[in-house]
C-alpha cells in the first residue's frame, strides 16, 4: 500500500494501551485486526502485545483518521476481544510521520 494520503488538517500522533481480553490465540488475538483496520483507515504506527496482557502501540496520521482509529481501539477491536478500557497518552500534533506503514511488533 502506498503512503497514506494527507487529508486536510493537522497530523497527529497518539500512544495507546488497550485493556481487557485482548490477547489470545497464541498471543495474537487482536494484532492482525488492528493492523488491518489501521491500513484501511490509512494511518501508520505499530501494535504489540505486552507481558501484562494488554495491547499497546502508536498511531499517526491525519487528525480525523487518528480519531477514527481511537474510536475503533476503544469500542470495536477484534471480533473475539473484550475491551474494558483504552488509555491514550502523548497525543500531539506532528509535522511529519515517523512511520511509512502500520506494523505488528513482536
Q: What is the pLDDT of residue 30?
A: 56
- Give the global pTM: 0.83
pLDDT, one tens digit per residue, over 11-61 is 999 999 999 887 664 444 556 788 999 999 999 999 998 899 889 999 999
Q: Structural domains in the chain?
A: 19-96 (3.30.70.100)
Q: What is the pLDDT of residue 26?
A: 43
How far is CA 61 from its chain centroid? 11
Q: What is the mean pLDDT of residues 80-95?
A: 92
Cβ burial, residue 25 (10 Å; 0-12/13-18/19+): exposed
Q: What is the pLDDT of residue 8?
A: 53
Q: What is the pLDDT of residue 25?
A: 47
Amino acid at each position: 500500500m502506498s503512503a497514506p494520503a494527507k487529508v486536510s488538517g493537522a497530523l497527529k500522533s497518539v500512544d495507546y494501551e488497550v485493556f481487557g481480553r485482548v490477547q489470545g490465540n497464541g498471543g495474537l488475538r487482536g494484532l492482525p485486526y488492528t493492523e488491518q483496520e489501521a491500513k484501511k483507515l490509512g494511518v501508520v504506527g505499530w501494535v504489540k502485545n505486552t507481558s501484562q496482557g494488554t495491547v499497546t502501540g502508536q498511531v499517526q496520521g491525519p487528525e480525523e483518521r487518528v480519531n477514527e482509529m481511537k474510536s475503533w481501539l476503544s469500542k470495536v477491536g477484534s471480533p473475539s476481544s473484550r475491551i474494558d478500557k483504552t488509555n491514550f497518552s502523548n497525543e500531539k500534533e506532528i509535522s511529519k510521520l515517523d512511520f511509512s506503514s502500520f506494523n505488528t511488533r513482536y
